[in-house]
Amino acid sequence: MRLRARPFAALLATFTLAAGLSGIATPSVAQPRTSQGGATTAEASDLSSAATLAADSYTWKNVRVDGGGFVPGIVFNRSEKNLAYARTDIGGAYRWDQSGKQWKPLLDSVDWDHWGWTGVVSLASDPVAPNNVYVAAGTYTNDWDPTHGAVLRSSDRGATWTPSVLPFKLGGNMPGRGMGERLAVDPHKNSVLYLGAPSGNGLWRSTDSGATWSKVTTFTNPGNYSQDPTDTSGYGNDNQGVTWVTFDGRGGSSGTATKNIYVGVADKANTVYRSTDAGATWSRIAGQPTGYLAHKGVLDEGTGYLYLSLSDTGGPYDGGKGKIARYDTATGTWTDVSPVAEADTYYGFSGLTVDRQKPGTLMATAYSSWFPDTQIFRSTDSGATWTTAWEYTSYPTRSTRYTQDVSSVPWLTWGANPSPPETSPKLGWMTESLEIDPFDSNRMMYGTGATLFGTENLKNWDSGSKFTITPMVKGIEETAVNDLASPPSGAPLLSGLLDVGGFRHTNLDAVPAMMYTSPNFTSTTSLDFAEASPSRVVRVGDADAAPHVAFSTDNGANWFGGTDPSGVTGGGTVAAAADGSSFVWSPAGTGVYRTTGFGSSWTASTGIPAGATVESDRKNPKKFYGYKSGVFYVSTDSGATFTAKPSTGLPTEGNVRFKAVPGTEGDVWLAGGAATGTYGLWHSTDSGATFTKLSNVTQADSIGFGKAAQGASYQTLFTSAKIGGVRGIFRSTDAGASWTRINDDAHQWGWTGGAITGDPRIFGRVYVATNGRGILYGDSASGDTGTTDPGTDPGTDPGTDPGTDPGTDPGTDPGTPADAACKVTYKITNQWSGGFQGDVTLTNTGTTAIDGWKLAWSYPGGQRISQAWNATVQQSGTAVTATDVGWNGKLAVGSSASFGFTGSWTGSNGAPSAFTLGGKSCSL
């Protein structure tokens, strides 16, 4: 099954977003202060009010899907074993964790205002100083992404980042994104980096480890190929530019820039260039193949051969012809070493790698071979002869050199049972990344449009026995999320996703067995359940053919398709009556319809425009709601007729989402708008006849409900919003009177406006949609205790100290309990040679609130903290103090605050034996 392109074009084009920065293994990105998309003076001033916000410490995890999107790049470090990275088109970058055989996300600290930096067009790992890693970040080169691209640089393997904003945009989700790597570090002088730019911006160079960049003016070919010159959106017609940089590390000396450099260009007549003087001058290599684009340029330093994988298009979906060419760097001779005659190809070549342990061994992929499968080629004689991963014995029967086990990610079969020669699961599609571990000839990884596969017994290929291919994708979560629902019974979560449709999540920490089937949708655009009968579920989505609607009577475990009204072209939105007796559907391509059965026939609704968003009242089964262009609509006859309400002041542009509160008729919350106009959060208690805008919410993009706090009479609200000058995920237990930020700067995930919902069964649990980092779920450290939001007194100004005795002597440690009743949890979350990453959680176990904290400890060895987030950390010798950063300084009884840091160690990395708060000991 083909995954759709994920430009998010139609959707993002309607958003009036600033851009965003963030990470889940507690990495952080320093905010840039530049004119090209960094925080402005006004933004900095706005942030000053953040200290008045209450905060609760949350634990965040991904709802496991494992993969779900395109992995266009895999990068192994050439000097340190087991140090590897993967890049995704819209879901950030990851580092391989060998001990857990999983990937660690590195860009979760990307914030809302720089959301485009979650798209990674290239990644480079420093071969001289392995702690250094660089990311070329930016999602679109057109106006869909309002932020300029940046090179994010890290000296601690991606735990923290510093951005260098570029004067142009980068396109991690643009056509041609599987080519590369565009970013490269000089193996002899690692302060020198090169970056191939798109959009006619040419070749760029940094001589100060990525801090500043300048154009290489002597490189005069910026490329001329675009996927679709007739496209006027800036997407298909963008010049794919300079596409890869490869250094010849043979010879030379440390500290002196490498002389021989090869560069690929999106130009079918001139696709590869060389410099022999460290980039001072450049020339087209004579005799090179023409009529093709070089997706990759890989040098086998053991033989001196440069290999090109060539395709007639830029990919990652298309490609009808291809070649593999070999260039002898010693003699200047070109040789066609294609494994298949050009006339017999119906695909292009892209994935390309050499075995650093075995000169002359190389592998390549037919990335655009959709039918019956992708193909992987292997040569052990520098391309003179090749063998294939599979071949026909007698059509349509195939024999394979491999066995494939997807039991760890069973949905990769897509629930399909195709006729030969197709199989399920497939080897993959869009296989533009392919790498043999430079330290282990047995390990190979390759990316597809849905996952990352690999093997650890690759040498069986040559011995005649079969090697095993399995998903090596654990930890990579890169689905884009359209909708989320958490029913009061049954599965805790139902998801609507792009590309893979969505899942019934019965265990949040386990990979679901299968996505929704019967029918499959390429993308689920909307789903709903009957509030009083959660076994009845409906979903709608995009598909290559009808139906675009499906129903379930067992809480989403099994499905059957409905029929489409005339004119349906896409999913749109759908709503289920509170008792499941009827459904209202607003599909793409036509007007709003209703059915009183399970979609076997539909009747057009009246009084509501085509394209309106629809939802249902969660109490009255005959009541439905609609919204479009600032007008709210209500139906009281199961969606047969709708009436426009006279509400004024609602947003007329931008993205708007609304939901009705379970259990109360007519209780509706509406979030959305645009920064150029009306924007915020509104509440109605009379079925939309009137709406009241919340004055304490500046911007809001989604709204959801969860279990009420203990003793509270109103459901907990969750929103992705801007409150008190801060963008984040917020919670309210007092119907919006006060708000608590529940994420932190290390957990922001770029754009989170798609969907949000609480869990009706677990207080504090929230599910957050991202655009490329999957579904995140958070649990409060404070649990279901008390009648109010931990850390916030709903009856007071949210900036006051909830629970601090006003009669306390002001000379005492402010807010510190007399017995300093506190508990500390200290964790080493990651460790490598000479470096580590840690996390500390401080919990108030006393009987009064803490207002401002300073935690102290001493290290037993040679540890030095270099950078911290969510706390101000100072160190003198072995003594360390960590002070709150304002917004997380208030700790109600039972609540916690967490902060993280990175540092170095020598000798040993033992944990501190004691912590003190205000000079008094905390328990460990």
Evaluate if residue 359 carries a pLDDT over 80: yes
In this prediction, residues 350-360 reach a mean pLDDT of 98
The Cα 275–Cα 290 span in angstroms is 20
Q: How many CB atoms lie within 10 A of CB 626?
A: 29
Reported residue count of the chain is: 924
**How do residues 445-492 score in pLDDT, each as one tens digit?**
999 999 999 999 999 999 999 999 999 999 999 999 999 999 999 999
Evaluate if residue 800 carries a pLDDT over 50: no
**How do residues 406-426 score in pLDDT, each as one tens digit?**
999 999 999 999 999 999 999
Higher-confidence position of 887 and 144: 144
Evaluate if residue 7 carries a pLDDT over 50: no
Quick check: is 89 catalytic? Answer: yes
Distances in Å between the Cα of 863 and the Cα atoms of 451, 858, 909 are: 38, 10, 7
**How do residues 489-537 score in pLDDT, each as one tens digit?**
999 999 999 999 999 999 999 999 999 999 999 999 999 999 999 999 9
Q: Among 437, 499, 542, 564, which one carries the catalytic annotation?
A: 499
In this prediction, residues 736-754 reach a mean pLDDT of 97
Q: 379: closest CA among 353, 345, 410?
A: 353
Residue whose token pair is 């801090």: 211
For residue 46, what pLDDT is reported? 29
Question: Residue 893: pLDDT band by 50, 70, 90 thresholds?
Answer: confident
Question: Residue 820: pLDDT band by 50, 70, 90 thresholds?
Answer: low
The Cα 552–Cα 576 span in angstroms is 12
The Cα 19–Cα 36 span in angstroms is 11
At residue 749, φ and ψ (nearest 5 deg) are 65, 30
**250-264, 591-605, 655-669, 848-862: least confidently modelled range:** 848-862
CA quadruple 790, 794, 800, 805: dihedral sign: negative
Per-position DSSP letters for 876-903, written without gaps between them: ETTEEEEE--STT-EE-TT-EEEEEEEE
The per-residue pLDDT of the chain, averaged, comes to 90
Percent of the chain at pLDDT exceeding 70: 90
Distances in Å between the Cα of 9 and the Cα atoms of 318, 633, 749 are: 19, 28, 19
**How do residues 262-308 score in pLDDT, each as one tens digit?**
999 999 999 999 999 999 999 999 999 999 999 999 999 999 999 99
The Cα 305–Cα 860 span in angstroms is 52
For residue 5, what pLDDT is reported? 38
For residue 784, what pLDDT is reported? 52
Question: Residue 16: pLDDT band by 50, 70, 90 thresholds?
Answer: very low
Quick check: is 744 catalytic? Answer: no
The answer to whether 160 and 143 have CB atoms below 8 angstroms apart is: no
Evaluate if residue 708 carries a pLDDT over 50: yes
**How do residues 194-240 score in pLDDT, each as one tens digit?**
999 999 999 999 999 999 999 999 999 999 999 999 999 999 999 99
In this prediction, residues 358-380 reach a mean pLDDT of 98
- Cα–chain-centroid distance for residue 181? 20
For residue 494, what pLDDT is reported? 98
Evaluate if residue 244 carries a pLDDT over 90: yes
For residue 887, what pLDDT is reported? 65
The answer to whether 22 and 106 have CB atoms below 8 angstroms apart is: no
Question: Residue 561: pLDDT band by 50, 70, 90 thresholds?
Answer: very high
Q: Which residues contact residue 150 at a Cβ distance below 8 angstroms, ignoring those fewer than 6 apart? A: 32, 37, 114, 117, 136, 137, 138, 163, 164, 165, 166, 170
Q: Among 56, 66, 89, 248, which one carries the catalytic annotation?
A: 89
In this prediction, residues 865-887 reach a mean pLDDT of 85
In this prediction, residues 622-638 reach a mean pLDDT of 98
Radius of gyration of the chain (CA): 28
Residue type, 773: R
For residue 810, what pLDDT is reported? 31
Evaluate if residue 785 carries a pLDDT over 70: no
For residue 892, what pLDDT is reported? 78
Strand-pair category, 570-576 with 583-588: antiparallel
Percent of the chain at pLDDT exceeding 90: 82
For residue 33, what pLDDT is reported? 32
- What does pTM read for this prediction? 0.83
